[in-house]
Amino acid sequence: MNLVPRFAFSIATTDGAARTGTIAMQRGTIRTPAFMPVGTAATVKAMRTDEVRASGADIVLGNTYHLMLRPTAERVAALGGLHHFMQWPHPILTDSGGYQVMSLSSLRKLTEEGVAFASHLDGSRHMITPERSMEIQRLLGSDIVMAFDECTPYPCSKAETETSMQLSMRWAVRSRQGFDSGRDHAGRSALFGIVQGGMHADLRQQSASALIDVGFDGYAVGGLAVGEGQGLMFEVLDYTLPMLPTDKPRYLMGVGKPDDIVGAVLRGIDMFDCVLPTRSGRNGQAFTCDGPLNIRNAKHKDDTRPLDTVCTCPVCTRYTRAYVHHLVRSGEMLGAMLMTEHNLYFYQILMAGLRQAIAAGCVQDFAAVFLKRYSGGAHEFIAD
C-alpha cells in the first residue's frame, strides 16, 4: 500500500501574510513558496532535467496546448507518460491551455462548449473543451492539473470580464467532473481552480466563491501579468487572497520578475511559474542581485567578474562575464545554456532565501534588502 498522500499541503511557518511549507505528493515534496521552471514542450529550454533539479526546482510546468499538438498527448501516453518521456521523475503541473486560448484570439472561436482553433504549426483544426483538457492532462500523467478557463485579457470592460469569468466558472464545474472521471489518475493527482474576474473585486469574489463551492485542491489567481503593471497586480492580490482558503496553496500564474515574486510572497502566494528566466537567458539577459544585466553589451567584453558577484551557481563559480559575452555575441549555443542555467539558479536561490526568511520571521527585512539592491542596479534591459 502506498502511504504517500495524493496531495497534502502543510504550512510550517507564517510571517505576516507570507507562508512557508510543503506540498507532499506521490512523486515528491514541493517546498513553498515554489518557483516552477516552464517546460513548455517537455523540456526546460537549454537545460537537461538533472540540471533543472540541481538548481533547486521541485516541480516543473508542462504546456497542454503545445503538447497536444506535438507530439500529441496520446503519443506521450503510449511512450510512458510525460515524466518518463522527459526524464523528470518529480512532480509536474500542466496548464489547461486557457492562456493560449486568449493569445490565439485570431485563430480561435469561443463557444459554451469550448474553443475551436487552428494550430499555429500547420493550420489543422482542433477543439479544446474542459473535458478534453482534463483528458489531455490525464494522458500526460500530470500531478497537478489546472481547470480549463478563459484567461480574461487586459484591458477589458467590466461586462466583458464578467461574461468571461462566468464562462470560466461553468467550465470549472465541468473540469471537476472531467477530472474525477479519470479515477486512477484522479486518485494520485490534484486539481486546481483558477480565480478570474479581471481588475474587479466583486467579480473576483464571485469567482472565488464559485470555485470554493465546487472544491479544489488549490487555487490559482489567473488573469494577471497580462499588461496591467505591478501596482495593479498587487492591488488585485491584496483583495483576492483573503477570499481564498488559508489551508490550500495559492498559485499566481505566469509571474514573474524577481521583484514581482517577492511582493507576491509577502502577500501570501505559494507557487509561481514564468518563462522569464529561460527566455531572457536565451536572449542575453541575466538576472542578478543588482538587477537585469544585458551580457551582449560591449562593456562586458573584458569583464572578469561573474554574471552575479554573489551568486554561487555553477556558471558564476566558473565563468566570467567576458567569456559568456563572447559566447552570446558569437551565437554559440553554450551561451544560451549558461545564461539559462544561471537564471534558473538565481530564481531558486531567491525562493530558498524567501523560505528561510519566513521561517526565521524576518521576511520583511529580507525583502527590503533584496528590493533595495535589485531596484538600485544598472537594469540593462533588452529592447523588445
344-376 confidence digits (pLDDT tens): 999 999 999 999 999 999 999 999 999 999 998
Please tell me the distance from the alpha carbon of residue 209 to that of residue 374, in angstroms, as a whole number: 37
173 pLDDT above the threshold of 50: yes
86 pLDDT above the threshold of 80: yes
Query: Is the pTM value of this prediction over 0.85?
Result: yes
Q: State which H helix or E strand residue 367 sits in.
A: helix 363-375
1 pLDDT above the threshold of 60: no
Q: State which H helix or E strand residue 151 sits in.
A: none
The backbone torsions φ and ψ at residue 253, rounded to the nearest 5 degrees and listed phi first, read -80, 135
Please tell me the distance from the alpha carbon of residue 297 to that of residue 206, in angstroms, as a whole number: 49
Task: Tell me the sheet residues that pair with 24.
Answer: 8, 29
Helical axes 201-214 vs 158-181, angle rounded to 10°: 10
38 pLDDT above the threshold of 70: yes
Q: What is the pLDDT of residue 2?
A: 60
Domains and CATH numbers, the chain: 8-32+63-273 (3.20.20.105), 281-375 (no CATH)
Among all residues, which ones are annotated catalytic? 95, 273
Q: What is the pLDDT of residue 384?
A: 43
Side-chain-side CA neighbours of 308 within 13 Å: the count stands at 28
100 pLDDT above the threshold of 80: no
Lowest-pLDDT choice from 1-15, 119-133, 204-218, 260-274: 1-15
Q: What is the pLDDT of residue 380?
A: 79
CB 9 within 8 A of CB 242: no
Task: Name the residue type at position 311.
Answer: C
In angstroms, the Cα distances linking 327 to 109, 256, 308, 330, 337 are: 44, 26, 17, 5, 10
